[in-house]
Chain A
Amino acid sequence: MLSNNMFTYYLRLAMISLKRNRILTALMVAAIALGIGMSMTSMTVLHMMSANPMSHKEEQVRRVELDNWDVNRPWDEDNPAEPPDLMTYQDANNLVQAHRAEHEAAFFPNVLALEPDKRDVKPYMVEALFTTSGFFPIFEPPFRYGTGWSPAEDRSAARVVVIDSETNEKLFGGENSVGRKVRLGGEDYTVVGVLEHWRPTPRVYHVANGAFEDPQSVFAPFSIGIEKQLNSNSNNSCYKDSEPGYAGLLASECIWVDLWVQVKDEADAQRYLSFLNDYVGEQKKSGRFPRPTNNRVYTVAQFLEVQRVVGRDVRTQVWLAFAFFAVCLINTVGLLLAKFMGKSSEIGLRRAVGASKPAVFAQYLTESGLVGLAGGLFGLVLTGLGLLALRKLYAGTSIERLAELDWSMVFASLAIALIASLIAGLYPTWRACQVQPATQLKTQ
């Protein structure tokens, strides 16, 4: 077994050996550092993009999709099996009214003018989410003060709002503002809840116009948005002509509402799906839903996958980065091989004076491990620089805020560098152990 003492001795030998051929050592460290830097930079972005902030409720939170689209043309011609990703007002409203799930969240975003009481703050625009009360129990945004509103307030279109912590800071200096008034779009609303800082990444509940945007600042009842005759300021798609006016829009086949439900478990989700199929069957009798029945109750993970939340460019970059890392490793294998073979006579001498094969093996593997560790450390620095560069390059896009190093990635890069260099060192080390003491000593 490798004793602690021997290990420090091997470390010392490795240091001497690495110092002796500085250029070769620098080349190996640089190759591993570049490989680690390149692949960890792209992995960090991928890691953040593929996160699922709702993973603790994977079976319960479901995205509801119904296929009400054109009989001749699927919603997405590249993926003809996929139903539209949004819903008509009438379907969302019917499903919320039916209340077959534990909670329903139907919503759409729009902007409102906010007129603060304070004279020094000028009126400004806020992004508002008009949602049914189920949004809060489903997505569980943390409240600093107060709570969401009740289904009764949904029905009566009560003038209540939940505001985020930034808005609370701006309007009320961060105090408990529950019960106070906010003037939105020319009307007074009562604050019922104030959120903590909340930034689900990706913003799973509404990915339509930017999966990595911040949540809306203000949340108000869905029924108010309808009463004020508002439309979604995000996506709104129609495949056929609707009657004029807002009533026409509400009765149309235009899709613009997000619908999520919370069910108990997978079995409950399947029950909900068969309820949806029955609902669509019923609607078909009145001439709606011309396409074959094609409804979904996606989990958050499935929904993010279907919506291609992880960008293609990022995936390509990860693949390229790992191919690049492979080249760096092959490079290291070659250089280690060159180095160790250059020391055949030294190995021969050690073997001749009694070092066993495992001892030689341990010594040279220590050396490759040391190279890997150094490469990993420099690679970490390069990863930091790479992420900094990515933030600059992608300023203003979703990738900018994702390019942040976290501890799991730091440990991952060090571990990968160490393991990769040990693997790269295996073959050269094995070759070094094959050195016959006698043949080497003969020529001395």
Chain B
Amino acid sequence: MEFRPILNALMRNKTGLLLIALQVAITLAIVCNSVFIILQRIEKVNRPSGMDESALFTVTSLGFASDYNLRNTLREDLDALRSIPGVVDATTINSVPLSNGGWSEGLSTQPESVPEEQRSNVQSAVYMVDEHGLNTLGVKLVAGRNFTADDVTYRTKNDKGSPHSLIVTQALADQAYPDGNALGKVIYTSIGGKNGPLTIVGIVERLQAPWVGWEKVENSLLVPQYQDGEFDSGSSRYLVRTEPGRRDEVMKQAEAKLGAINTGRIVRGLRSIEEVRGDSYRQDRAMTIVLTTVILSLLAVTGLGIVGMVSFWVTRRVKQIGTRRALGARRFDIRRYFMIENVIVVGLGIVIGLLLTYGFNLWLMKHYELPRLSWYYAPLGALTVLLLGQLAVFGPATRASRVSPAVATRTV
């Protein structure tokens, strides 16, 4: 094998060896950890919300006229929205899933009489909808029933409406009642006023909470209520589901129609859920693009650096190469020499790089609550930089192999 002479030659140029190895090492550490972050973000962005997102939009109304009657307007608005051609269904809703703004409550499976320290506590997002809520959201009911018109109560300034029923997501049901059979069981929460029991009448497969960065994003519940001036006298929010492909035309009509029904209010916040999703995940998407740019530029810089260094080595060794060729080495042998040399240099970089990779990962775990790097990142990363090294060295090595044996005879 040629390892020994290559190694000997390399040891005569320790600085060059070390510089390339160091570059490769840092590159490996950054690439592994960045790819890791990118894949996590992609996974986060691609989680389903449970809604029929592409057909949904939301709109808000805020009354200011002194004779503004919120309860009447709610009824009129809902009737008007549901009668627009192309609308599948519409509901009131207190906050929009994926919008990063909403309401959360602590729930317990035990009544208030149980001492606080012993009570279970699960946190969940709260959506207030009417009996059209499930159909509007497009969520899948996997057990139990939907709300009926009789279930729906009004929340006013002095009365939280005391609803009796709620629908929870499967994830929330499993957390509240880990043994299963959550359907028909009760939950204690202050949503409806006093910490009264609410019965779980239905379970939906999935509906995400409004906060996309929340670790319990799958914990949501629906409660049958209209907000009738609980916090301010005039605001209401609607969610509308349209037939496929008709969302944009319906949005325009809905805005015009609501404005016409009552002039003592402002209609605003007209947004499709796709837009809401885009805004909420913008940071994650941007981060993946920034990191991808970093990775690609880094690989390019390191690759070009190797090309530069090896080109220089080739130039310096033209005479030796010529001599080797004159002594019978084939072109293939010369090229192989530089390729193997590169494997050794990059290999050294990989060894240092693995330490850096895990060091960097530990640091990220400590400061950014990132999980541990999966085992396959390091070998895959190492393979990538090894291939990059071979690719970078191929050009200069080929040039080296073309050195004519005659060079050996020229001087000395």
In whole Å, how far is B105's beta carbon from the nearest beta carbon of chain A? 9
Q: Is A52 an interface residue (CB 8 A)?
A: no
Instruction: Mark out the residues of chain B between 247 and 298 whose CB falls within 8 Å of any chain A CB in the assembled complex.
Output: 265-266, 268, 279, 282-283, 285-287, 289-291, 294, 297-298
Q: Does the CB pair A338–B290 fall under 8 Å? A: no
Instruction: Mark out the residues of chain A between 331 and 369 whose CB falls within 8 Å of any chain B CB in the assembled complex.
Output: 331, 333-335, 337-339, 341-342
Q: Does the CB pair B283–A397 fall under 8 Å? A: yes
Complex: chain A residue closest to B300, CB-CB: A34
Q: Is A185 an interface residue (CB 8 A)?
A: yes
Q: Is A186 an interface residue (CB 8 A)?
A: yes
Q: Is A48 an interface residue (CB 8 A)?
A: no
Complex: chain A residue closest to B282, CB-CB: A397
Q: Chain B 160-179, CB within 8 Å of chain A: the 1/0 string?
A: 10000000000000000000
Q: Does the CB pair A334–B19 fall under 8 Å? A: yes
Q: Is A330 an interface residue (CB 8 A)?
A: yes
Q: Does the CB pair B66–A186 fall under 8 Å? A: yes
A311→B284 CA distance, assembly (Å): 12
Stretch at the interface among B69-77, B189-197, B401-409: B189-197
Q: Does the CB pair B193–A327 fall under 8 Å? A: no
In whole Å, how far is B256's beta carbon from the nearest beta carbon of chain A? 14
A316→B37 CA distance, assembly (Å): 10
Q: Does the CB pair A335–B308 fall under 8 Å? A: yes
A278→B119 CA distance, assembly (Å): 32
Q: Does the CB pair B158–A331 fall under 8 Å? A: no
When A38-B297, A342-B312, A396-B279 are in contact, do A244 and B305 touch as well, CB less than 8 Å?
no
Q: Is B150 an interface residue (CB 8 A)?
A: no
Q: Does the CB pair A338–B283 fall under 8 Å? A: no
In whole Å, how far is A58's beta carbon from the nearest beta carbon of chain B? 26
Q: Is B40 an interface residue (CB 8 A)?
A: no
In whole Å, how far is A17's beta carbon from the nearest beta carbon of chain B? 15
Q: Is A172 an interface residue (CB 8 A)?
A: no
Q: Does the CB pair A394–B158 fall under 8 Å? A: no
Q: Is A275 an interface residue (CB 8 A)?
A: no
Q: Is B116 an interface residue (CB 8 A)?
A: yes
Q: Does the CB pair B266–A330 fall under 8 Å? A: no
When A31-B305, A323-B30, A338-B312 are in contact, do A111 and B20 touch as well, CB less than 8 Å?
no
Q: Does the CB pair A230–B232 fall under 8 Å? A: yes
Q: Does the CB pair A324–B368 fall under 8 Å? A: no
Q: Does the CB pair A330–B22 fall under 8 Å? A: yes
When A31-B301, A396-B282 are in contact, do A125 and B315 touch as well, CB less than 8 Å?
no
A313→B369 CA distance, assembly (Å): 12
A58→B160 CA distance, assembly (Å): 44
Q: Contact size class for B?
A: 35 or more
- List B contacts of A24 (CB < 8 A): 308, 311-312
Q: Does the CB pair A334–B193 fall under 8 Å? A: no
Complex: chain A residue closest to B15, CB-CB: A337
Q: Is A110 an interface residue (CB 8 A)?
A: yes
Complex: chain B residue closest to A248, CB-CB: B158
In whole Å, how far is B371's beta carbon from the nearest beta carbon of chain A? 15
* A245 interface neighbour in B158, B294, B316, Cβ under 8 Å: B158
Instruction: Mark out the residues of chain A between 224 and 238 whose CB falls within 8 Å of any chain B CB in the assembled complex.
Output: 229-231
A230→B24 CA distance, assembly (Å): 60
Instruction: Mark out the residues of chain A between 18 and 71 whose CB falls within 8 Å of any chain B CB in the assembled complex.
Output: 23-24, 27, 30-31, 34-35, 38, 71
Q: Chain A 391-402, CB within 8 Å of chain B: the 1/0 string?
A: 001111101000
Q: Does the CB pair B286–A393 fall under 8 Å? A: yes
Q: Is A438 an interface residue (CB 8 A)?
A: no
Complex: chain B residue closest to A112, CB-CB: B64
In whole Å, how far is A234's beta carbon from the nearest beta carbon of chain B? 9
* A241 interface neighbour in B15, B195, B289, Cβ under 8 Å: B195
In whole Å, how far is B133's beta carbon from the nearest beta carbon of chain A? 23
Complex: chain B residue closest to A393, CB-CB: B286
Q: Chain B 312-340, CB within 8 Å of chain A: the 1/0 string?
A: 11011000000000000000000000000
Q: Does the CB pair B315–A72 fall under 8 Å? A: no
Which of B158, B265, B285, B301 is packed against the most chain A CB atoms within 10 Å? B301
When A72-B116, A327-B27 are in contact, do A27 and B37 touch as well, CB less than 8 Å?
no
Which of B37, B286, B309 is packed against the most chain A CB atoms within 10 Å? B286
- List A contacts of B79 (CB < 8 A): none
- List B contacts of A162 (CB < 8 A): none
A8→B309 CA distance, assembly (Å): 30
In whole Å, how far is B388's beta carbon from the nearest beta carbon of chain A? 13
Q: Is A123 an interface residue (CB 8 A)?
A: yes
Q: Does the CB pair B266–A124 fall under 8 Å? A: yes
- List B contacts of A399 (CB < 8 A): 283, 286
Q: Is A317 an interface residue (CB 8 A)?
A: yes
Q: Does the CB pair A393–B289 fall under 8 Å? A: yes
Instruction: Mark out the residues of chain B between 1 and 43 whose CB falls within 8 Å of any chain A CB in the assembled complex.
Output: 15-16, 19-20, 22-23, 26-27, 29-30, 34, 37
Q: Is B243 an interface residue (CB 8 A)?
A: no
* B194 interface neighbour in A30, A241, A342, A393, Cβ under 8 Å: A241
- List B contacts of A328 (CB < 8 A): 301
* B297 interface neighbour in A115, A229, A324, Cβ under 8 Å: A324
A108→B270 CA distance, assembly (Å): 25
Q: Does the CB pair A231–B30 fall under 8 Å? A: no
Q: Does the CB pair A320–B279 fall under 8 Å? A: no
When A316-B368, A323-B29, A330-B23 are in contact, do A394 and B304 touch as well, CB less than 8 Å?
no
Q: Chain A 379-399, CB within 8 Å of chain B: the 1/0 string?
A: 000000000001001111101
Q: Is A204 an interface residue (CB 8 A)?
A: no
Q: Does the CB pair B64–A334 fall under 8 Å? A: no
- List B contacts of A23 (CB < 8 A): 308
- List A contacts of B20 (CB < 8 A): 334
Q: Does the CB pair B64–A113 fall under 8 Å? A: yes
A153→B303 CA distance, assembly (Å): 70
A229→B156 CA distance, assembly (Å): 13
A230→B291 CA distance, assembly (Å): 44
Q: Does the CB pair B282–A320 fall under 8 Å? A: no
Q: Does the CB pair A394–B282 fall under 8 Å? A: yes
Q: Does the CB pair B305–A320 fall under 8 Å? A: no
A-B contact pairs, 7 of them (CB 8 A): A30-B301, A31-B301, A31-B304, A317-B287, A324-B298, A334-B309, A338-B309
Top 4 A-B pairs, shortest CB-CB distance: A113-B64, A338-B312, A393-B286, A331-B305
Q: Which residues of A contact B (CB under 8 A)?
A: 23-24, 27, 30-31, 34-35, 38, 71-73, 110-113, 115, 123-125, 185-186, 209, 229-231, 239-241, 244-246, 311-313, 316-317, 320-321, 323-324, 326-328, 330-331, 333-335, 337-339, 341-342, 390, 393-397, 399, 427, 431, 443
